[in-house]
Structure 1
Amino acid sequence: MDMSGMSGMDMSTAGMFTPTNKKVAHLYWYIVAGVVGVLVFRRLVDRARISRNKRKNQNQPGLVPGRPQNAFEQFYDTTITICRELAYPQLWTGTGKSSKYFTPPPLGRCLLLLTYWAVILTMLWSNVILSPSASNYAYKWEIVGFRAAWVSVTQLPLIYILSGKANIITLLTGISYERLNWLHRWVGRTIFLTVIVHWSYFFTEWSIADFVKLEFETMPMVKYGFGAWATLGWMVITGFGFFRTLSYELWFLQHLAAALVLLWLVHKHVPSYAAYNVWFAVGVVVFDRVVRTVLVLVINFHVLPSKTASTSPARRIGHEAEVVNLSNEFIRVKIRNVKFSWRPGQHVYLSIPRAGILEAHPFTIASVPKSISGQPGSNDVELYLRVHNGFTKRLHRRCQNQMTPRTFLSFVSGPWGNPPSIERFESLIFVATGNGASFTLPIFRQTVLANSNIRHISFVWIFRRAEQLEWFREQLQSAAATARKRNVKVNIQIFITGDAPSRPRSPADSDSLLKQASDTDSTQEEKSGHGLPKPSTEADLLKSPADKQEAGTVRQNSVSSSSISSDRPPIYVGYGRPQLDGLVRPVVEDAWGETGILACGGSQFTGQMRNYVARLSDERGVHKGTGAQGIYLFCETYGW
């Protein structure tokens, strides 16, 4: 990314192009600022509407949230709906061992990328293709090389902004860092290509003039430039999902080291008047690390440890983490008596030195803080971990054959993430597969405990093993009872995909929605239910695994209403994969205001949720004169 006259023939050529190229660089950041400004505007409008509805609800109880009240809101909601219908669809999802790494982003992200590339291509090639009659035609190679250099180095700070947890875009827009990570990777790939344009044009000129060797000998910045390009190429190649999953810990360490080396190489390569891009990126990295370090110190170092009723002694450094193996596939970690609060749906980074020194991994918090639950006792963070290679596998080994939870010293960082606010919705649908319930259940509990205008809630959980019901048995029981007391209509539907008794297969077997989301062994033949299950009593749901074995597992037969507890709504339990339309459409059609759909699962599951919601919104003509109200979809995946 040299901008100082690397041709060797005319060292003043850089000055000829610098003013114009600086204007192009400034235009790039004006565009970025404009996009961020639009997102900030949307955030402010949404918050203002929520605040206004809160005030109106005090004088006008029963006000329907999320319903447009005037012409401006109608226009705004219609615009948002059109954008959602364009953004939600998933064009294709790979399901094979290799093809899954080539799954494209959702349509909305693809359109954003195409727009970004259009901007980059316009910046790169505008007014740089010279005709033979041009007065500066002799510099036809250099003018493109210098422009590509500026376009490349100007993008550099953005990839570092998008890589940080505490970054300015997240702080302004409220879009959590992990939902920006995909853009971080694609901007990096884009820079890699524009750098190729930069050095290839200069190299072509040197080759024509036959002084390639002279350039490398007399211009040290050339070597640093190629080193920076090679480092960036290494980061791009190893940044693909295949390499990240081989050994995430090793990948992260080398990626962090490469990112720092890249900044040093670029600083050595570019001239002083372009070095502000490097220092901008350095400032971004320093700010992110300082904020995260301060949070870690505040959370994990206790100058005056509190005395609690906990059986574990108070610590001045770190926290007590009680770890127990739930099965060969899952671990439960309970971090005792933390001194911070969190929003349901957020996650923390967990580090347990005895399972991995200097390793920290993100896990969704499956519990709600005392400030929401109001329950006595310590403020505990509960996590459910799926056993994979590396950290979780080592932790699982350390707790094998333990009848009681084993205690470890742990450190946490967070909480991170920005789940959607429930105050904007009139109806809510939660759909989770496997341990994705760690994300949906806390928000469900928050919803029934909060004093909101939510009228209808549907909670759906699809998982493989019947014993997983025991994870959240008490929480489901409490949430069902609380919802009944608050006159909130609640449907809790449980689907078990791996333990169904033998019975004839049904047409539901052809529904591919949950083929990957059910997390079943591909060698095991699964049984399917008949769409939505017939009701079962809550007593069936809350039986222990031993009781289920004795009773022949949860039954699908209909139970008379007299057998269902009168103070709690029934919880439906069924086997097999449910039909998506039967889970979502009834709630959406019954909604008076906006419906929020919060889904958590694998990539194929969330992809099909995206496609279905986009089709349903278009079919119903949401906010397009039919009277159908908004549908908002928030997808959380197992990884990013």
Structure 2
Amino acid sequence: MYWIDKPIVWHMSRVPAGYDFDAMTEYERGILFTKWRSWWSADLDYAQTTVIFFCTAILASALLNVLGWVRAHDLSVGGPRVTLWNKTTALLRYTTSRQFYFRPTNWYTPPLAAVIGVSALAIFTLALTLAVRPYYWPNHAMGMSPPIATRSGWISLAIMPFMIAFSTKINFVTILTGTSHEKLQVFHRWAAFFMYITSLVHTFPFIVNMIKMGMMEAMWKETSLYWTGVAALVPQTWLIAMSWGPIRSRYYEFFKKMHFIAAGFFMAALFCHVDWIFTSWHYFYATAAIYTLAWLIRVIRTLYRTGLGLRATIEDAGPDLIRISITAGRFKWYPGQHVFIRILGLNVHTFTSHPFTIASVAAADKADSNVELVLRSRGGLTRALQRRVAGKAGWSTRVVLDGPYGGLHSPRTLEKYERVVFLGGGTGATFTLPIFADLIDKLKSAPAVKQIDFVVAVPDVDNFAWMQSQVASLANGGTAETTVNVRVHYTRTESDKDVKDSESEVVEASAGLVSLYGRPITGEIVREAHANASSVAVIACGPDSFLYDTRNAVADCELDIADGFGVCKDLFLHTENYSW
């Protein structure tokens, strides 16, 4: 039995054949070849429509990105402040800030903009699948492929290239929209989910139809279409089930390895299953081109910048903290970017790579730059590192860096804002600290900045030690035109119990730096900045609950701007999550 029908014809004929028209009614003959119902043009009707939907959504996002840069340029050159433009921008930023919390499952949703995007994909997919009737042919003489199965199969296939594009670290979506790869993961997961749903809708009508016709056993034996379809559906089911948030987070090391293996089996089986029907393989060509190009660029860039490994020193930096100092060499980065690091000589963990934010700023002399990473030990790689360096002066090894990726994406540079607020929760300071240091360095040429607030929350003094000297130095980096305020919140007392927000009290105060017990109320910090400056940038990184409060406070302020209340006309928010 062939896995793929032979001889292979790259362009299957679209000339209808094999029908007994005498066995059909006039109505049945009339609908057989109409648009949206014809089997012979279903790929053009449904797959191409799906491609157009995705491309339209991506291009609309790209247009908004371009308009954001145009507006930023208009503001930077002192052009007129168009009230409608400011209000429209505020409304759009409301959707990218607003977040929801589902208490029963302790789930923090993606931003409202992502929820809208996923909802649009759901509505589109369901409408395209269910809008046209009939779902089954009223007469078996019209064909053995139920219309609903045909259309859902093409929709599923057309989703595939975009689902892969959303998952790669280097992709055309990021280039066009300015949205970093980690923020596109939500679309990768939901696109994969809807591809799975349409795959199920494609599968079961065939089974129902063949059982009704009494041909199920014969079709299973005589054609590869049925068993290759099952061979594709099994790993696809695994991929969807294991990608569920709680499972993915708890068993990430296992998930990541099996994800690539299952994806390989799925793609191979699906390639055989579609069996060069019309344009089916074209979507595999597109998927292969997207993934292969992204992979080649990553490999070539990594080899050029890090070779076979950069020198690194790994040491204990405090309770459950590890610091990695890497000689940069040709590796270049900007504040707030992250890398995927592979640590050589760490047994089985040598074969894995994990993302971490760069906690240092590149020196003016690139040759003297060090890439600094500060990691919290949780499990897997970080736990293995902690055991390797615990109680030792340090461990010298070599590492491979893939990146950098992400970082601050603001059409208007931070030195153009009147007030800048940095909010870091725990090791979230590895993201905010280098951007803060970079802005302090630019103060002499940044007369627009009137005040900088750097707020960091850590469990205790030991967890603050790794950044204490740098933060203290930056706290005194203000100028006559710019005030710099630094607040360090210790969220645990000496008894190792969490401190509530209402128990906040000043522990120590010095020039530009205040230490307190108690969690920072980020919402109040955001609202105070919004009420006292015409333009504000908020940069935040921390746990989900920390970002939830920050995001929704910004969203409320964006509505005030849209309503025309207050002095603030431009409020920008950039957040980074611990994980994605």
Shift, 1:493, TM fit: 1.0
Shift, 1:571, TM fit: 0.9
2:543 alignment partner in structure 1 = 602
What pairs up with 1:334-373 in 2 under 5 angstroms? 334-355=325-346, 356-371=349-364
Q: Distance in 2 between matches of 1:331 and 1:89?
A: 34
What pairs up with 1:369-518 in 2 under 5 angstroms? 369-371=362-364, 378-402=368-392, 404-421=393-410, 422-423=413-414, 425-450=417-442, 451-452=445-446, 453-484=448-479, 487-499=481-493
Provide, for residues 250-272 of structure 1, a one-character-per-residue CA deviation record: whole Å limited to 9, x for no partner. Answer: 22111112222222111101132
Shift, 1:154, TM fit: 0.7
Q: Is the contact between residue 336 and residue 435 of structure 2 (CA under 8 Å) also seen in structure 1?
A: yes
1:166 alignment partner in structure 2 = 170
Q: Is the contact between residue 429 and residue 457 of structure 1 (CA under 8 Å) also seen in structure 2?
A: yes
SS across alignment from 1:340: coil
Residue 572 (structure 1) aligned with residue 514 (structure 2): yes
Q: Distance in 2 between matches of 1:288 and 1:583?
A: 40
Q: Distance in 1 between matches of 2:60 and 2:462?
A: 47
Distance 1:290 1:212, change over 3 A: same
Shift, 1:323, TM fit: 0.9
Q: Distance in 1 between matches of 2:226 and 2:136?
A: 28
Q: Is the contact between residue 598 and residue 633 of structure 1 (CA under 8 Å) also seen in structure 2?
A: yes
Match of 1:202 among 192, 199, 206: 206
SS across alignment from 2:314: strand
Shift, 1:351, TM fit: 1.1
What pairs up with 1:70-469 in 2 under 5 angstroms? 70-71=81-82, 74-93=83-102, 99-100=105-106, 102-129=107-134, 138=142, 142-272=146-276, 273=278, 274-301=280-307, 317-355=308-346, 356-371=349-364, 378-402=368-392, 404-421=393-410, 422-423=413-414, 425-450=417-442, 451-452=445-446, 453-469=448-464
Q: Distance in 2 between matches of 1:10 and 1:353?
A: 63
Q: Is the contact between residue 531 and residue 567 of structure 2 (CA under 8 Å) also seen in structure 1?
A: no
SS across alignment from 1:370: coil
SS across alignment from 2:449: coil
Q: Is the contact between residue 531 and residue 578 of structure 1 (CA under 8 Å) also seen in structure 2?
A: no
Distance 1:265 1:189, change over 3 A: same
1:492 is matched by which residue type in structure 2? Answer: V
Shift, 1:586, TM fit: 2.1
1:24 alignment partner in structure 2 = 46
Q: Distance in 1 between matches of 2:566 and 2:262?
A: 54
SS across alignment from 1:326: strand
Provide, for residues 252-306 of structure 1, a one-character-per-residue CA deviation record: whole Å limited to 9, x for no partner. Answer: 11111222222211110113221101111111111111011011101122xxxxx
1:630 alignment partner in structure 2 = 570
Q: Is the contact between residue 554 and residue 573 of structure 2 (CA under 8 Å) also seen in structure 1?
A: yes
TM-score by length of 2: 0.87
Count residues in correspondence. 545
2:374 is matched by which residue type in structure 1? Answer: Y
Percent sequence identity is 22
Structure 2: 5+ residue stretches without partners: 5-11, 22-31
Q: Distance in 1 between matches of 2:574 and 2:343?
A: 31
Shift, 1:492, TM fit: 1.0
Match of 1:588 among 530, 533, 536: 530
Shift, 1:242, TM fit: 2.5
Q: Is the contact between residue 331 and residue 384 of structure 1 (CA under 8 Å) also seen in structure 2?
A: yes
Distance 1:529 1:30, change over 3 A: closer
TM-score by length of 1: 0.79
1:80 is matched by which residue type in structure 2? Answer: T
Q: Distance in 1 between matches of 2:70 and 2:245?
A: 39
Residue 45 (structure 1) aligned with residue 67 (structure 2): yes
Q: Distance in 2 between matches of 1:137 and 1:223?
A: 24
Residue 537 (structure 1) aligned with residue 543 (structure 2): no
Q: Distance in 1 between matches of 2:196 and 2:70?
A: 41
Distance 1:585 1:137, change over 3 A: farther
SS across alignment from 1:47: helix
Distance 1:252 1:526, change over 3 A: closer
Distance 1:17 1:246, change over 3 A: same
Provide, for residues 99-149 of structure 1, a one-character-per-residue CA deviation record: whole Å limited to 9, x for no partner. Answer: 34x5433333222211111111122123233699x8999559611111111
Q: Is the contact between residue 602 and residue 638 of structure 1 (CA under 8 Å) also seen in structure 2?
A: yes
Provide, for residues 133-174 of structure 1, a one-character-per-residue CA deviation record: whole Å limited to 9, x for no partner. Answer: x89995596111111111111101111111100111011111
Distance 1:470 1:264, change over 3 A: same
Shift, 1:42, TM fit: 2.2
Residue 527 (structure 1) aligned with residue 499 (structure 2): yes
Shift, 1:4, TM fit: 11
Shift, 1:52, TM fit: 4.7
Q: Is the contact between residue 384 and residue 438 of structure 1 (CA under 8 Å) also seen in structure 2?
A: yes
SS across alignment from 1:537: strand
Shift, 1:470, TM fit: 2.2
Shift, 1:203, TM fit: 1.2
SS across alignment from 2:356: strand
2:8 alignment partner in structure 1 = none
2:112 is matched by which residue type in structure 1? Answer: L
2:271 is matched by which residue type in structure 1? Answer: H
Q: Is the contact between residue 36 and residue 169 of structure 1 (CA under 8 Å) also seen in structure 2?
A: yes
Task: Give the stretch that moved more between structures: 220-229 or 623-632.
Answer: 623-632
Q: Distance in 1 between matches of 2:84 and 2:140?
A: 51
Q: Distance in 2 between matches of 1:110 and 1:392?
A: 32
Provide, for residues 559-585 of structure 1, a one-character-per-residue CA deviation record: whole Å limited to 9, x for no partner. Answer: xxxxx4xxxxx2111101233344222
Q: Distance in 2 between matches of 1:130 and 1:153?
A: 19
Distance 1:209 1:342, change over 3 A: same
Q: Is the contact between residue 90 and residue 561 of structure 2 (CA under 8 Å) also seen in structure 1?
A: no
Q: Distance in 2 between matches of 1:318 and 1:367?
A: 19
Shift, 1:239, TM fit: 0.7
Distance 1:333 1:232, change over 3 A: same
Provide, for residues 225-247 of structure 1, a one-character-per-residue CA deviation record: whole Å limited to 9, x for no partner. Answer: 11111111110001112222333
Residue 616 (structure 1) aligned with residue 557 (structure 2): yes
Q: Is the contact between residue 451 and residue 483 of structure 2 (CA under 8 Å) also seen in structure 1?
A: yes
SS across alignment from 1:275: helix
Q: Is the contact between residue 135 and residue 148 of structure 2 (CA under 8 Å) also seen in structure 1?
A: no
2:396 is matched by which residue type in structure 1? Answer: T
